[in-house]
Amino acid sequence: MSYTYDPADLSTALAKVRMAVGDVYDTYLAGNARRGVKPDGANYTDEELAIFLTKFSDDWEKTVPAVFLHLSGLYANESNVKVGAYSEEMGDRAEKLRQAASAWSQGLVAQTASYFDDGTDPTDITDVLDTEPWGEP
C-alpha cells in the first residue's frame, strides 16, 4: 500500500483528491504520526483512492464527494471521545463531512448547469449520495 502526495505537483487526479479532502500529511513520515483524515489517523492509500477514481472515470471533482461520504461513514461508526476537558462528538464530525459532500456536489452541478441550453446536466452526481457504500451510514 502506498501514499503519494507532493503539494508542488497537483497535476494528477489523485493529488487533487488528496488536496481537496485534506489528506495531505503522510502518516508514515516522522513527526506526522496520526495526521491522516481517517478516524484512526491513517491516510487513504493510493490504492483506496484509486477505487473511488475508477468509479468516477478519474474525474477528481466527482470523486471528492464520494470520499467525504466514505469518511462520514467511518466517523459515524466511531465512539465519542472525552479526555479531561477535551471532547469530540464523532456524530458531529460525520454530519459535517456529509454536508461537505453535499456542498461539493451542489457546487459541481451549479458550475456546469449553465453550459447546457436544454436544462440537462450530464454531471448530475446525486446518485453518489445514494450509492453504497458511500451512502448514508
Per-residue pLDDT reduced to its tens digit, 13-40: 999 999 999 898 865 555 555 678 898 8
Parent domain of 32: 13-130
Contact (CB, 8 A) for 134 and 73: yes
pLDDT of residue 14: 96
- What is the C-alpha separation between 67 and 101, in angstroms, rounded? 8
Distance CA 19, CA 25 (A): 10
Has residue 6 been placed in a domain?
no
Q: Check if the beta carbon of residue 21 is closer than 8 Å to that of residue 37.
A: yes
Q: How many CB atoms lie within 10 A of CB 135?
A: 14
**How much is the pLDDT for 29?**
58
Is 2 inside a domain boundary?
no
Q: What is the pLDDT of residue 36?
A: 84
Residue 5 lies in a domain: no
pLDDT at 130: 47
| Residue 128, pLDDT score | 45
Q: How many domains does the chain have?
A: 1
135 within domain boundaries: no
pLDDT at 93: 82
Task: Please check whether residue 91 lies inside any domain of the structure.
Answer: yes
pLDDT one-digit tens code per residue, 107-137: 765 555 444 444 544 444 444 444 444 444 4
Does residue 136 lie in a domain region? no
- Residue 119 domain flag: yes
pLDDT tens for each residue of 58-85: 999 999 999 999 999 898 887 777 778 7
Residue 38 lies in a domain: yes
How many other C-beta atoms are found inside a 10 Å radius of the C-beta of residue 103?
12
